[in-house]
């Protein structure tokens, strides 16, 4: 994957952690977290040591997506030991607070929670740390991009224009903070009917590829809108880990190989 974490930005990397890569989207609900989890597992399937940091403080979804619950252990009094699932390490606010506790923190507290989940977690040794970013392009995202020595960002978008417009804003944000955009993934790209086998472009199709070409950014691939992806996500049994021989798992592994 991408370059080591000791980036040109001068921000200190995390000892023993290779590259830190953000998975981002312009808005919520486009499948960013589902994609981040399956790409992380795809990277692991490709032979890398992988960690997944859920940076969505207000709406953590990594615990559910990986079927994890419980509290992380600590070592040396303060370092958190990441949770483990399907061969990857994971850390999320969801492990540290009760599920129904509303997060009413202001920006600085969010930043300190993120910093702690980055720097006070026993991540090492990792080849790559995938960060599931919060949706949108607000302050939290900007600060995150500024604080963390990101090797690059992967943008997840649906083909819809609205999602694309927002994803475009996301691109602008990463450019502003000099984080290279590694490419765009089009999620919910098309639908294959399980009954008749026919294909429907529910949200239109090809918008992200077209946009990527226009912006001269790599287009990393298309993920279909697929019942099995939704069901395995909700069940905490991500498709790349539990159905590695499926065509969908292959799609994620291929995209992971392009990061």
> Would you say 132 or 211 has its CB closer to ligand ADP?
132
Question: Whole-angstrom Cα distance, residue 56 to residue 175?
Answer: 21
When asked if residue 52 is in the footprint of ligand ADP (CB under 6 A), the reply is: no
Q: Which of 41, 50, 225, 240 binds ligand ADP (CB under 6 A)?
A: 225
Annotated ligand binding at 27? The verdict is: yes
Q: How far apart are CA 145 and CA 124, in angstroms?
A: 21
CA distance 117 to 39: 20
Task: Please indicate if the annotation marks 169 as binding a ligand.
Answer: no
Question: How many residues touch ligand ADP (CB under 6 A)?
Answer: 19
Residue 89 sits in the site that holds ligand ADP (CB under 6 A)? no
Q: Name the 3-class secondary structure at 208.
A: helix
Nearest residue to ligand ADP, by Cβ distance, number only: 31
Q: How far is CA 144 from CA 6, 35, 111, 211, 253, in A?
A: 16, 19, 8, 25, 27
Please report whether residue 255 would count as binding ligand ADP according to CB under 6 A: no
Span from 86-94, 147-155, 207-215, 218-226 in contact with ligand ADP (CB under 6 A): 218-226
Distance between CA atoms of residues 35 and 15, nearest Å: 26
Task: Tell me the window of 72-80, 138-146, 197-205, 227-235 that interacts with ligand ADP (CB under 6 A).
Answer: 227-235
Structure tokens at 66: 């990986």
Residue showing tokens 């927002």:
166
For residues 123 and 80, the answer to whether their CB atoms sit within 8 Å is: no
70 labeled binding residue = no
Nearer to ligand ADP, 32 or 253 (CB): 32
Does the annotation flag 13 for ligand binding?
no
Shortest Å distance, C-beta 156 to ligand ADP: 7
Report how far residue 123's alpha carbon sits from residue 91's, in angstroms, rounded to the nearest whole number. Answer: 9
Distance CA 243, CA 147 (A): 36
Nearer to ligand ADP, 4 or 236 (CB): 236
- Pick from 44, 130, 151, 188: which binds ligand ADP (CB under 6 A)? 188
- Span from 14-22, 67-75, 205-213, 223-231 in contact with ligand ADP (CB under 6 A): 223-231
Minimum CB separation from ligand ADP for residue 73, in Å? 27
For residue 138, state whether it binds ligand ADP (rule: CB under 6 A).
Answer: no
137 binds ligand ADP (CB under 6 A): no
Cα–Cα distance for residue pair 54/225, rounded to 1 Å = 23
CA nearest to 239, candidates 25, 39, 32, 24: 39
**Residues forming the annotated binding site for ATP?**
26-33
């Amino acid at each position: 994957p991408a370059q080591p974490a000791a980036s040109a930005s001068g921000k200190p990397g995390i000892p023993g952690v290779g590259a830190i890569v953000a998975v981002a989207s312009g808005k919520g609900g486009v499948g960013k977290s589902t994609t981040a989890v399956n790409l992380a597992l795809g990277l692991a399937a490709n032979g890398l040591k992988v960690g997944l940091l859920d940076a969505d403080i207000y709406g953590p979804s990594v615990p559910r997506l990986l079927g994890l619950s419980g509290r992380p252990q600590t070592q040396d009094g303060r370092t958190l030991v990441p949770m483990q699932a399907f061969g990857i390490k994971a850390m999320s606010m969801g492990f540290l607070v009760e599920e129904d506790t509303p997060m009413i923190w202001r920006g600085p507290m969010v930043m300190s929670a993120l910093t702690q989940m980055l720097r006070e977690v026993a991540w090492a040794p990792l080849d790559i740390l995938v960060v599931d970013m919060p949706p949108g392009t607000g302050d939290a995202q900007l600060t995150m991009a500024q604080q963390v020595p990101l090797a690059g960002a992967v943008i997840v978008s649906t083909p819809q224009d609205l999602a694309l417009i927002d994803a475009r804003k996301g691109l602008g944000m990463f450019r502003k903070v000099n984080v290279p955009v590694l490419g765009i993934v089009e999620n919910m790209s098309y639908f294959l009917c399980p009954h008749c086998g026919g294909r429907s472009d529910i949200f239109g199709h090809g918008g992200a590829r077209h946009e990527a070409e226009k912006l001269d950014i790599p287009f990393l691939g298309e993920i279909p809108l697929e019942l099995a992806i939704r069901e395995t996500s909700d069940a905490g049994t991500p498709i790349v880990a539990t159905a590695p021989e499926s065509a969908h798992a292959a799609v994620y592994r291929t995209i992971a190989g392009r990061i």
